[in-house]
A and B are shown apart, each in its own frame.
Chain A
Amino acid sequence: MSPRIRVALLALSALILLPCAAQVIAGLPAFGSTIAQYGARINAITPEARHVANMVSAINFDLRGLDTLGEEFMLLAAITGTVVLLRGRRGEGMTGRAMHRPGRAVIPRSEATVLACRIAGPLTAVFGLYVVVHATVTPGGGFQGGVILASGTLLIYLGEGYTGWRDAIRSHWLDVLEGGGALLFALCGLVPMLTGAAFMQNVLPLGTFRDLFSGGLMLVENLGVAMAVTGGFTQLFLEFMEETREAEEPDEPGEESA
């Protein structure tokens, strides 16, 4: 199909769909006038029913926990697919040289960069953990904290170079972290059934409102999500960077791959 026909087809479908979209928009409630009943009821009931302050976490990990279980396995499947595609082509071997374009000079890292990364790295990790564990109290949770933790490991790469990063972070640990996180979440659904409760029923003590330990089973599920997201995203970064390695053997040994 030539580009011209494609654009013409797109314009035609836009012509047909535009009135429909206008119709739908006209039928929606005016922006900011009202919210759905379901959300309003959750806001009204959940703080007392589940002892948590963050409604978004309450929905993700308790009220609609089954949906999050599905999301979790979507994440697992997407990352597994990515890793299988990448490793299937080039094997599981690793290299010390990646992110380096042949023929381009390698600029050595300045000491300031190394120092800044060594200071900022642990701080980022602490912040990520803070975001993870305060899921039920303040904005945050396993999804956000996991991505922050994974991005924090990139500071090791920035400060210590590619080889140092690969030494610090082992690929098979990440596999365990990711699969273990998904497993933990699935177990959170199954274990309550052993006690006679329903799937993913919140059987743990709910704790005190506005306290770090509130929400019961939500904390465990949140931990599972954090593990899976941290492992998954770090694995993505690792495998992507490994993809940029040079095909031929390195000619200048001892060179840093900054």
Chain B
Amino acid sequence: MTVILPLLFLFTATSGTAVVLVRDPTRQVFAIAINGLVLTILFDALQAPDVALSELAVGSAAVPLLFLVALMAVRTQAPGEDA
């Protein structure tokens, strides 16, 4: 555990940075889902199975889905001439 936990923390920092640096929202959705998975693994390693379960369901399934649907809503409902 002594090595795994610091590595996971660094991994979390990297995936969080990736979410910010991926500027295209369509691609960012995948970064968000991966970030959710990394956080899930980190929480599990931190002896928090309750939180990991919650993050797994919310962070890697529900929230990316909401982002996808929001992107879809923006695309299908172009108010002006250029979307």
Contact = CB atoms under 8 A, between A and B. Distances in A.
A–B: direct contact at CB < 8 Å: yes
Interface of A: 32, 54, 56-57, 99-102, 131, 139-141, 143-144, 147-148, 150-151, 154, 233, 236-237, 240-241, 243-247
B9 to A, nearest CB: 9
B61 A151 contact: yes
A101 B76 contact: yes
Contacts of B69: 99, 237, 240-241, 243-244
B73 interface: yes
Interface residues of B, number: 20
Given A56-B50, A151-B61, 15 more contacts: A56-B51, A99-B72, A131-B53, A141-B50, A144-B54, A147-B58, A147-B61, A148-B57, A151-B57, A151-B62, A237-B69, A240-B66, A240-B70, A240-B73, A244-B72
Interface of B: 5, 49-54, 57-58, 61-62, 65-66, 69-70, 72-73, 75-77
20 contacts: A56-B50, A56-B51, A57-B50, A99-B72, A101-B75, A131-B53, A139-B49, A139-B53, A140-B53, A144-B50, A144-B57, A147-B58, A147-B62, A148-B57, A150-B62, A233-B62, A237-B62, A237-B65, A244-B77, A245-B76
Contacts of A141: 50
B57 A147 contact: yes
Contact of A144 (B5, B53, B66, B76): B53
A247 B53 contact: no
A102 B54 CA distance: 35
Contacts of A32: 5
A155 to B, nearest CB: 11
Contacts of B58: 147
A236 B72 CA distance: 15
Contacts of B61: 147, 151
A156 to B, nearest CB: 14
B73 A244 contact: yes
A241 B58 CA distance: 17
B76 A139 contact: no
Contacts of A236: 66
Q: Which of A141, A144, A148, A237 has the most CB of B within 10 A?
A: A144
Contacts of A233: 62
Contacts of A247: 77
A218 to B, nearest CB: 14
Contacts of A100: 76
B74 to A, nearest CB: 9
A94 to B, nearest CB: 15
Nearest to B69: A240
A54 B57 contact: no
B81 to A, nearest CB: 14
A246 B76 contact: yes
A243 B77 CA distance: 9
